[in-house]
Structure 1
Amino acid sequence: MHFWVANPRRSQKPALVMLHGYGGNSKWQFIHQVGSLSQSFNLYVPDLLFFGDSYTTRLERTEIFQAKCVAEGLKRLGLDRFSVYSISYGGFVAYWMAEMYPELVEKTVVVSCGIGMTKEQKREQLNKVGSNALNLLVPQSARDLRLLVNLSVHKPGPSKWVPDIFLRGFINVTYKQHRKEKLELAEHLLRKKEDPDLPILTQETLIIWGDKDEVFPVYLAYQLQRQLGPKSKVEIIKDTGHAACLDEVLFVNES
């Protein structure tokens, strides 16, 4: 496991672990947040397995295995108590970290993550996307990457006018390495059955969602809140898509 860590660590600051989504690695996905959040927290930002510099020879491809690897890595770094901020795919990992390691995880923040989706909800959403979901999650062409960005970001961005050569370069840097394993992670996520016994977390949980999310519709935020009960709180951001940390970085940081 590869981690970006606070240097030097300030003992008076609480520890915050940041778990990235499927669309990249920790190095760039939190680029607009690290500077601000580091004023209040000692940050620990891992690359999840097969993203960035993290990898394994083990065959497990579940978010539960990801959670175990992150937690054990943090223990080796000397952490015994921390909160977890997560977005999209990272939210699945954070959820199981909080469930399996309640003595470590103090609070959780889940941004735009479809935890608890039913089989029917997943099928309906895949039909709405109208494209091969694996090609979007692990894009191979400039067209695939544009579709992914347009699906994730609600507010106008540079993806429409950036030349294909730059998008292909980004794909080579971000998605080419461990492509097979990234596809296996995505296949597990898309094909796994719903868990009728999804655990209820004991930690306080803040759920943040964009009201224009086209990947995980906003009703899933309230569905997750009902699952978690009174220790959870929902914050809905107006005119914001799936990538809330890009669309409304100030709101997310202050939350």
Structure 2
Amino acid sequence: METLRLCIHNLLSFHLSVIITLFQWLLSGLPLLPTFKRPFPLFVPFIDAYISLLFRFSNLSPCTLDLDHHTTIHFWAPSHRRFNKPNLVLIHGYGGDAKWQFMYQVKSLAKSFNLYVPDLIFFGKSYTTRKERSEEFQAKCVVEGLKGLGVTSCSMFAISYGGFVGYRMAEMYPEMVEKVVILSSGVGCTKEQKEQQLNKIGRDPVELLIPAKPEDLHVLVNLSIYKYNPFRWAPDYFLQEFIDMISRTYLKEKQELVHHLLSDHTDCKWPLLNQETLLIWGDKDRVFPLMFGHQLQRHLGPRAKLEIIKNTGHAANIESPDSVNALIKAFILQQS
């Protein structure tokens, strides 16, 4: 199923890139309006609107909550909550807002769960004027938003940077978080391990996580994806649109989040979690190699289980979504 999905995706990506390139060529012959220094975004807003429809068809509606006079958090939450379904919170990582990272999860998981999908602070429509940049603050904001939506208990699925946030959320609010699923996250890495991994990658982490130009985005995607590059056929015009619209908002604040993540603060002892925990890793992960998954499993002890997806890189939610979704359902619903 996933092999067929990859073939179709590559075919569609190629044809879409051809259409975008032709459309760009046609537009290049038109004079620009005086009020615009360059063409306004065309393609990324269209795709963003399509993903929004996908979320809406999965029984999700957007909502924004003011947590206080300083902080606002945006959620996709159930349009109609089903009390016979458990609650599941999806916490994204870097690389755009929650919609772009969970587009392959919501349709499948919404059949079994009431989904709550927040944009972390400084991603999407979530923002604060406070100076906090810690994962603890992010976790607190997510929980306060959930409480505002009437959620008293939930399980959690978190990706990469979101894994740091989700781990703190499970630690700080054990009475709320029932089960934990973490995908390809560097939780528990030491300062030395971070430095070694960055030396292997050979790029500034801020430039890598917050790309400024199409070449930077290609590097990030090639590092995160093993099987195929979803932007392989995309012209630079489209990639720059994506960067400007999705990745470059709240630029200074996102840079501060990266610096905090790499600081000595995150090297402190990570406490054991009381919850049952599922770790999911791609065996070809080059961002947080599989050794980090084994290390985290050993740290958590017998309540943690590690599932390895073959021929998959860091972004398993994009490369192997069917496998990821099946593992989440089986673990949280206790299916065989």
Fold match by TM threshold 0.5: yes
State the 1:162 CA deviation: 1.0
Which of 311, 318, 324 aligns to 1:239? It is 311
Match of 2:256 in 1: 184
Match of 1:163 in 2: 235
Select the structure with the greater relative contact order (CA < 8 A; seq sep ≥ 6). 1
Residues 211-253 of structure 1, C-alpha deviations (whole Å, 9 max, x = no match): 0000001001010011111110000010100000011000000
Match of 1:89 in 2: 161
What are structure 2's unaligned runs of at least 5 residues? 1-72, 328-336
State the 1:209 CA deviation: 0.3
Of all paired residues, the percent bearing the same amino acid is: 58
- The structure with the greater share of residues assigned to helix is 2
| 2:131 aligned with 1:30 | no
CA distance in 1, matches of 2:230, 2:294: 32
Where 1:91 maps in the other structure, the secondary structure is helix
CA distance in 2, matches of 1:195, 1:144: 28
Where 1:13 maps in the other structure, the secondary structure is coil
Q: TM-score, with normalisation over the residues of structure 2?
A: 0.75
Structure 2 counterpart of 1:150, one-letter code: N
Match of 1:108 in 2: 180
| 2:153 aligned with 1:53 | no
Residues 15-60 of structure 1, C-alpha deviations (whole Å, 9 max, x = no match): 0000001111111110011000000000000000000000000000
RMSD: 0.9
Structure 1 ranges of 4+ moved more than 4 A: none
Match of 2:274 in 1: 202
Contact 1:64/1:96 (CA < 8 Å) preserved in 2? yes
**Paired residues for 1:59-70 under 5 Å:** 59-70=131-142
What are structure 1's unaligned runs of at least 5 residues? none
Residues 110-144 of structure 1, C-alpha deviations (whole Å, 9 max, x = no match): 00000000111101100011111111101111011
Where 1:186 maps in the other structure, the secondary structure is helix
Where 1:212 maps in the other structure, the secondary structure is coil
Larger radius of gyration: 2
State the 1:193 CA deviation: 4.2
Q: TM-score, with normalisation over the residues of structure 1?
A: 0.98
Match of 2:44 in 1: none
State the 1:190 CA deviation: 1.6
Comparing 205-214 with 23-32, greater Cα deviation is found at 23-32
Contact 1:119/1:193 (CA < 8 Å) preserved in 2? no
Contact 2:87/2:114 (CA < 8 Å) preserved in 1? yes
CA distance in 1, matches of 2:271, 2:243: 36
Match of 1:252 in 2: 324
State the 1:194 CA deviation: 4.9
CA distance in 1, matches of 2:185, 2:266: 14
| 2:76 aligned with 1:4 | yes
